[in-house]
């Protein structure tokens, strides 16, 4: 019997790497994201790994659209076994200048959507006696950095929610865990490298070593593939006792 994974934000960056790893492992995949070539990505990966795929560009700022996304996945595949709440956005600003709209958007996408999607997928998982919810938080879910008030708040919130869902799912074979990466070189971070280079008057290489990876003991980006491998481990049938936890892949950042 095929397992089905819905991965938000899977037409870019970390989510796409997770989707590829799950397709390679034989999962059917509901792709999701705002990238214009999302359908093409879903078709190509489905063809390559011989699994069924679908695609949705539901806007996670719209809570009705999140409900529709869950319905669409359940109608397309008959069920959702694994929900990976991965989509996320970032904005960097001093607190007194932080635009309220940016705060609201970050909380909507990075925190509220995790709750709304999990809530909507929950009855199906309960009925099937199987569910794996994996939330992509961040090292910023356990540590703070200046100028990231909304992102750090949302990512800490995701870890709190993960704990509650872990408790509530016990007994129904629904687990919920979070993954907390350090810096991963995705489009989200490439934008930040360019901005920081301008702001600090440094080259992009200097920004990576001196600014971005300053807090990581290992001065390398976290490989997307390692995050995907951890997600596969957490999604496994025999991972039923692993729940309510946050797994850190941060190059030693939080060891200090």
Identify the active-site residue in 27, 49, 91, 151: 151
Q: Which is nearer to ligand NAD, 130 or 235 (CB)?
A: 235
Binding flag, residue 60, ligand NAD (CB under 6 A): yes
In the list 24, 25, 39, 59, the residue contacting ligand NAD (rule: CB under 6 A) is 59
CB of 173 to ligand NAD, least distance (A): 26
Binding flag, residue 89, ligand NAD (CB under 6 A): yes
Among 132, 138, 177, 171, CA closest to 154: 138
Q: Which stretch binds ligand NAD (CB under 6 A): 45-53, 71-79, 181-189, 233-241?
A: 181-189
Binding flag, residue 166, ligand NAD (CB under 6 A): no
Q: Which is nearer to ligand NAD, 34 or 167 (CB)?
A: 34
CB of 26 to ligand NAD, least distance (A): 23
- For ligand NAD, the binding residues in 98-117 under the rule CB under 6 A are 109
Residue 250 to residue 247: CA distance in whole angstroms: 9
Binding flag, residue 12, ligand NAD (CB under 6 A): yes
What is the side-by-side strand order in the sheet with 131-136? 53-56, 28-32, 4-7, 82-85, 131-136, 174-181, 246-249
Q: Which of 44-65 are b and which e, b meaning 16 or more Cβ less than 10 Å from the residue's Cβ?
A: ebbeebebebbbbebebeebeb
Q: Which is nearer to ligand NAD, 51 or 231 (CB)?
A: 231
Binding flag, residue 183, ligand NAD (CB under 6 A): yes
Q: Which is nearer to ligand NAD, 85 or 175 (CB)?
A: 85
Residue 256 to residue 254: CA distance in whole angstroms: 5
DSSP 253: G
Question: In what helix (H) or strand (E) does residue 55 lie, and over which residues does it extend?
Answer: strand 53-56
CB of 101 to ligand NAD, least distance (A): 13
151 is a catalytic site residue: yes
Q: Which is nearer to ligand NAD, 147 or 237 (CB)?
A: 147
Binding flag, residue 181, ligand NAD (CB under 6 A): yes
Q: Is 146 exposed, middle or buried (0-12, 13-18, 19+ CB in 10 A)?
A: exposed
Binding flag, residue 153, ligand NAD (CB under 6 A): no
Q: Which residue has the tokens 């090292």?
A: 139
Using CA atoms, how far residue 250 sits from 2, 93, 208, in Å, is: 32, 23, 15
Mark out the alpha helices in the chain (DSSP H runs): 13-24, 38-49, 63-77, 100-107, 113-128, 149-169, 187-200, 204-206, 224-235
DSSP 207: I
Binding flag, residue 189, ligand NAD (CB under 6 A): yes
Q: Which is nearer to ligand NAD, 130 or 149 (CB)?
A: 149
Footprint of ligand NAD on this chain (CB under 6 A)? Answer: 9, 11-15, 33-35, 59-61, 86-89, 109, 136, 138, 181, 183-184, 186-189
Residues known to be catalytic: 151
């Amino acid at each position: 019997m095929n397992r089905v994974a819905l991965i938000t934000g899977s037409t870019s960056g970390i989510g796409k790497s997770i989707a590829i790893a799950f397709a390679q492992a034989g999962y059917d995949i509901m792709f999701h994201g705002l990238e214009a070539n999302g359908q093409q990505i879903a078709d190509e990966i489905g063809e390559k790994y011989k699994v069924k795929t679908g695609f949705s560009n539901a806007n996670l700022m719209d809570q009705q659209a999140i409900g529709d996304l869950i319905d669409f996945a359940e109608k397309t595949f008959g069920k959702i076994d694994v929900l990976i709440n991965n989509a996320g956005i970032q904005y960097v600003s001093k607190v007194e200048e932080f635009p309220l709209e940016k705060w609201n958007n970050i909380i909507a996408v990075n925190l509220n959507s995790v709750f709304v999607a999990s809530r909507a997928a929950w009855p199906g998982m309960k009925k099937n006696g199987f569910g794996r919810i994996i939330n992509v938080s961040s090292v910023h879910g356990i540590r703070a950095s200046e100028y990231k008030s909304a992102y750090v708040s949302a990512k800490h919130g995701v870890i709190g929610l993960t704990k509650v869902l872990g408790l509530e799912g016990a007994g129904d074979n629904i687990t919920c865990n979070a993954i907390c990466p350090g810096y991963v070189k995705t489009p989200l971070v490439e934008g930040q490298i360019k901005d920081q280079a301008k702001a600090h008057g440094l080259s992009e290489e200097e920004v990576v070593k001196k600014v971005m990876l300053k807090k990581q003991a290992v001065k390398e980006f976290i490989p997307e593939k390692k995050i995907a491998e951890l997600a596969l481990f957490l999604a496994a049938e025999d991972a039923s006792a692993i729940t309510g936890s946050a797994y850190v892949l941060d190059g030693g950042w939080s060891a200090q």
